[in-house]
Structure 1
Amino acid sequence: MANDFDVVVIGSGPGGYVTAIRASQLGMKVAIVERELLGGICLNWGCIPTKALLKSGEVYETLDHLADYGLSVEKRGFDFAKVVERSRKVSAQLNAGVTFLMKKHKIEVVEGSARLESGQPAPQVVVAQKAGGSRTLQAKHVILATGARARTIPAIGLAPDGERVWTYREALVPKAAPKSLIVIGSGAIGIEFASFYRALGSEVTVIEALPRILPVEDEEVSKAAHKAFEKRGLKFRTGASVKKLAKTATGVSIDIEADGKAETLTGDVAIVAIGIVGNVEDLGLEGLGVKIDRTHVVTDAHGATGVAGLYAIGDVAGPPWLAHKASHEGVHCIEHIAGVKPTNLKAPIPGCTYSNPQVASVGLTEAQAKEQGIEIKVGRFPFKVNGKAIASGETEGFVKTVFDGKTGALIGAHMIGAEVTEMIQGYAIAMTLEATEAELHATVFPHPTMSEAMHESALDAFGQVLHT
């Protein structure tokens, strides 16, 4: 027998569960369908546990520099099983938190795999329940928030086997840290795992098909990151295409081609981090006529799919593939459905890479701005002359700002250094409020903080820098 809801959300990641909560706040009767764990990939197998691992790596690596602070320890070491255990406990705690939020907001959680069938006013959601049997949910609106998974290429060996070839999922829970590791792909996921395992002493080589690592970042940041990572002992092969990965008696062998030359790399383990594909299979989308483009559901500006009553948000609806983008998109979608003024969908979306050093950015790169024909002013400020950075022993990196030279609007910001992922929101707020250089110049930044470099960079773009 059908159950009537205002909204059924399929998928409980940061897009899905936030959408469900906002729908409940707006007075809707809501159900959410989840086939695995509440919180989705991000909370259980992505954003959160990787940050827990990276923190362990960061603390451990700091022990190498204790003498710089006048400190010492008798013996350094780590228990890898406990490092992994801690990351799993962090995820479990947040999973319990999402469970509590669902109860608090009276959102019905249906455990199982969903499939859509024709219905009115929106498709019916037929759930093959974990506990057995089938349940049909009928709603006025259905929102797909099924997320994405790691892209693999089995034909050339780029597919996980759980032992020597990993995706992010296997890389989170291995029994031991490999002595040597090859990471295929230098986006945020690849670089974060490379950074973590290097911190614990693994020999790490990163392969990138494009000419530079972190290719979506501003070129200056990308180059600075490459140099900083090499100082930590990471190795890189850029402009290198993977031809084949083969498992050997002791690990993996990877054939690559770079600059027209063939080369073979060997290691104990390989991590495949070459992007993601949307989870669009087995949902019945083809039968409903939902348009799919390269594994992502095609939607309009409000998440509508073209099928009455059916929407899609987050990773399954396309880039940028970021948890906070999914949440923001979901809130916009449900507010649009409710007929209230929706959140600004065009708000700038920051991106963060939690490596050592960290990388963060929002808006246009210098190159993108030039490609769009924008007359720009660019400011830079290095952490090496920032008082707090010097006192903290964190002088690596810089802040770069890009302004529209005619209007003074901040159109891009790019940072590399300690804790820049915690600072980028300042620029995101400025861009959301459509701030110009005048507002940024007039803002009082506390001293001593590393955020003062943000102020100085904005000043530098207009020839007013104070401390260089």
Structure 2
Amino acid sequence: MADYQLIVIGAGPGGYTAALRAAKLGLHTAVIEDRECGGTCLNRGCVPTKALLHASQVWSDAHHCAGVCADGASLDLPALYRHKDEISQTLSSGIEGLFRSAKVTLLRGRARITAPGCVEITGQDAGTVTAEHILIATGSVPARPPIPGLELAMTSDELLKGTDRLYRSIVIMGGGVIGVEFATFYSDLGCEVTVIEGLDRLLPGMDRELGQNLAQLLKKQGVRVFANSMVQRVEQGKDGLTVHFTTRGKEDFVTGEAVLSAFGRSPNWKGLFADGLQPETDGRRIHTDENGQTSIPGIYAIGDVSSPVQLAHVAAAQGTACVERLAGRTPSVRLDLVPGCVYCRPEIASVGLTEADGKARDIPVKVGKCTLFANARTMIAGTGRSFMKVVAHAQTGVLLGAQLMCEHATDMIGQLSQAIANGMTARQLLAAMRPHPTFEEALGEALEELVAKLPE
């Protein structure tokens, strides 16, 4: 008889959510983790980054808000990083408490799958444990492409460990979510920032207008942005680190006191399987079927280790769906509708289809858009160019997507995700009264423009 019905390897958002859901559904569950509970998101990613961004926004607002004089204000960077660590530690301890309450066994150490249903642990709780099912939720690590001199650059993991002083200048290689959030943080604090992105715009995985507008706003703040630029090498110079890159075939370079490698993240499963036990992969990610099962029966994988969409809430939803299927339940959350959030200034959030997606898939769509130039809350906040777009099927009016670039976009995207998940039309969503003065008022205007384009 197996020791457990389910063993989850990894206590990040996907792993701990899956374990707690499994326990609630009556499965005898254990979690194996060799670091802090909460994984990358809680300890080296989403949460600590947002703690830094909150502080940098307070600093920036204090220095740019009309009627506020912040002369004499000072920045205590070590205290800021301590506060960040305290938040992560508190939340991590909270997860351990949830495990205890749910009677989920937490095993400390590094896991190695030696056979289906069998896991060897090295470390504090060394030994061998067995289970009917194994769920891999080991997340990802910063990507390290083969660029000469890249070892001179920091990863986001290293940068989040903290420094005792603010860099005078920083070069960020990569204009995705990680890159633009750190660009926002350092720009807020007055650091000289350069962002180099290989594709034609920032945030290349999102609606084109979002990345283009963000680049304009960052440039107004003094950030240098180089798109369509490929990094060639990083070198140590007498004035700092020099990043050499090519832009449209022309060579260029920029020097900074520090360099951040923000080329995304790679699935983390090295050393997880014993010799002779290898799941099917694409060379990077572990392949899974519609139930989350790998090519090895009884072994499942969720989150960054198997999914091209590397988001904490995706991992959590996949983990929940996987254990619900194991317990004979129908998954409670749609896995095909993924909200994306970027905590730049102003915030960016999107869900569902863009107008370009509709055209690419031969889906007839109409788009309603509202710019927030005359929105009272936006004028008060002084956040610059902001907009909301909503996308609906051209014949039925059913909502298919939304793209927001405005204050509190990450908090507002949930209602649009809910509307799309439930097949609501633009007219139905427009029926709700929106309070004044709010940023959300603009959503009503965008919906009004959309409805005017739809058939009666």
Q: Which amino acid aligns with 1:77?
A: S
Q: 1:331 — aligned with what?
A: 320
Q: Distance in 1 between matches of 2:190 and 2:197?
A: 22
Give the C-alpha shift of residue 28 in structure 1. 1.0
Pairing partner for 2:84 from 87, 94, 97:
87
Q: 1:242 — aligned with what?
A: 231
2:266 is paired with a residue whose SS is strand
2:150 is paired with a residue whose SS is coil
Q: Structure 2-normalised TM-score? A: 0.96
Q: 1:292 — aligned with what?
A: 281
Q: How many residues align?
A: 453
Query: Do the aligned partners of residues 457 and 307 (structure 1) sit closer, same or farther apart at CA in structure 2, a change above 3 Å counting?
Result: same
* Over 6 Å off, 4+ runs: none
2:57 is paired with a residue whose SS is helix
Q: Structure 1-normalised TM-score? A: 0.93
Pairing partner for 2:445 from 440, 451, 456:
456
Pairing partner for 1:171 from 148, 159, 163:
159
Pairing partner for 2:108 from 97, 104, 111:
111
Q: 1:30 — aligned with what?
A: 29
Pairing partner for 1:225 from 187, 205, 214:
214
Give the C-alpha shift of residue 438 in structure 1. 2.0
Q: Is the 8 A contact 2:314 2:335 kept in 1?
A: no
Q: Distance in 2 between matches of 1:86 and 1:383?
A: 34
Question: Superposed, which structure 2 residues align to 1:206-225 within 5 Å?
Answer: 206-225=195-214
1:174 is paired with a residue whose SS is coil
Q: Distance in 2 between matches of 1:301 and 1:415?
A: 30
2:13 is paired with a residue whose SS is coil
Q: Distance in 2 between matches of 1:294 and 1:384?
A: 47
Q: Is the 8 A contact 1:110 1:129 kept in 2?
A: no
Give the C-alpha shift of residue 106 in structure 1. 0.8
1:39 aligns with 2:38: yes
Q: Is the 8 A contact 2:346 2:383 kept in 1?
A: no
Q: 2:8 — aligned with what?
A: 9
Of the structure 1 ranges 3-12 and 393-402, higher mean CA displacement relative to structure 2 is found in 393-402
Pairing partner for 2:128 from 130, 136, 160:
136
1:271 is paired with a residue whose SS is strand
1:402 is paired with a residue whose SS is strand
1:152 aligns with 2:144: yes
Q: Distance in 1 between matches of 2:146 and 2:163?
A: 21
- Contiguous gaps of at least 5 residues in structure 1: none
1:86 is paired with a residue whose SS is helix
Give the C-alpha shift of residue 154 in structure 1. 4.6
Q: Is the 8 A contact 1:245 1:252 kept in 2?
A: yes
Q: How big is each residue's C-alpha offset from its partner over 1:241-265, in whole Å with a ceiling of 9 and x where there is no partner?
A: 0111112344211110111101121
Give the C-alpha shift of residue 170 in structure 1. 1.4
1:287 is paired with a residue whose SS is coil
Q: 1:58 — aligned with what?
A: 57
Q: Distance in 1 between matches of 2:164 and 2:71?
A: 27
Q: Distance in 1 between matches of 2:361 and 2:219?
A: 33
Of the structure 1 ranges 5-14 and 420-429, higher mean CA displacement relative to structure 2 is found in 420-429
Identity of aligned residues (%): 35
Give the C-alpha shift of residue 169 in structure 1. 0.9
Q: Is the 8 A contact 2:317 2:335 kept in 1?
A: no
1:308 aligns with 2:297: yes
Query: Do the aligned partners of residues 205 and 394 (structure 1) sit closer, same or farther apart at CA in structure 2, a change above 3 Å counting?
Result: closer
Pairing partner for 1:97 from 94, 97, 108:
94
Give the C-alpha shift of residue 155 in structure 1. 4.4
Query: Do the aligned partners of residues 286 and 461 (structure 1) sit closer, same or farther apart at CA in structure 2, a change above 3 Å counting?
Result: farther
The two structures, once aligned, show a CA RMSD in angstroms of 1.7
Query: Do the aligned partners of residues 360 and 285 (structure 1) sit closer, same or farther apart at CA in structure 2, a change above 3 Å counting?
Result: farther
1:369 aligns with 2:366: no
Give the C-alpha shift of residue 197 in structure 1. 1.0
Q: Distance in 2 between matches of 1:183 and 1:56?
A: 20
Query: Do the aligned partners of residues 129 and 290 (structure 1) sit closer, same or farther apart at CA in structure 2, a change above 3 Å counting?
Result: same
Pairing partner for 2:119 from 96, 118, 125:
125
Q: Distance in 1 between matches of 2:250 and 2:36?
A: 45
Q: Is the 8 A contact 2:117 2:130 kept in 1?
A: yes
Q: Distance in 1 between matches of 2:159 and 2:276?
A: 36
